[in-house]
Amino acid sequence: MPRLILASASPRRRELLAQLGVPFDVVVADVVEHEESTTDPRVMVAHNAALKADWVAARHPDALVLGADTTVFLDGHALNKPADAAAARAMLRRLSGRTHTVFTGLALRRRSDGLQLDDGVASHVTFKPLDEATIEAYLARVHTLDKAGGYGIQDHSDLIVAGYEGSFTNIIGLPLETTKQLLTRGGLRT
């Protein structure tokens, strides 16, 4: 079985990928991600996923390398990871009572034989109307600075989320259904 490497620092992606029951290593790519908020989010996440996967694959040419990137998109702008608590509050206020899209780009690479597969997934999340007390309660319970959009659907979502459409694991950061298909296309038995 080919060696699988996850090119991501995200603990949530590690947890999700482990659910597929395939052994893997983690190598964090030393890259600067493109995060211009007005970039088409599909282009942004595809670029960043490929950037991570390519960087790791160049250093581990015989391994199957999976890169992923996720962003939240609303009103023509990507809401990436907030810089601080004030930015997280502002993001939650923007998302309040509205539906936004979560985009994830996936890139699978193996340098030794030129394998290069890419895919993308979109899901929709609708927030409850949030008052300031709810926002503060959520921020007191959830570390949001490492999460696109300033929230994690897996953490106390009963406070903020009214509903969602599409892949739940995509909203967390790694769409397992599509990831499994991609790994199978890459020759890995999942």
Q: Is residue 24 part of a domain?
A: yes
The two three-digit tokens of residue 8, written as one number: 């991501």
For residue 190, is it within any domain?
A: no
Calculate the average pLDDT of the chain: 95
**165 belongs to a structural domain:** yes
Q: Which of 25, 40, 69, 84 is labelled catalytic?
A: 69
- Domain containing 49 equals 4-185
Structural domain contains residue 90 = yes
Amino acid of residue 129: P
178 close to 157: Cβ distance less than 8 angstroms: no
Sign, CA torsion 57/8/169/147: negative
Q: pTM for this structure?
A: 0.93
| 1, pLDDT greater than 70 | no
Specify the CATH number for the domain of residue 126: 3.90.950.10
Q: Could you report the per-residue pLDDT of 97-141, keeping only the tens digit for each?
A: 999 999 999 999 999 999 999 999 999 999 999 999 999 999 999
Q: Is 84 an annotated catalytic residue?
A: no
Number of domains in the chain: 1
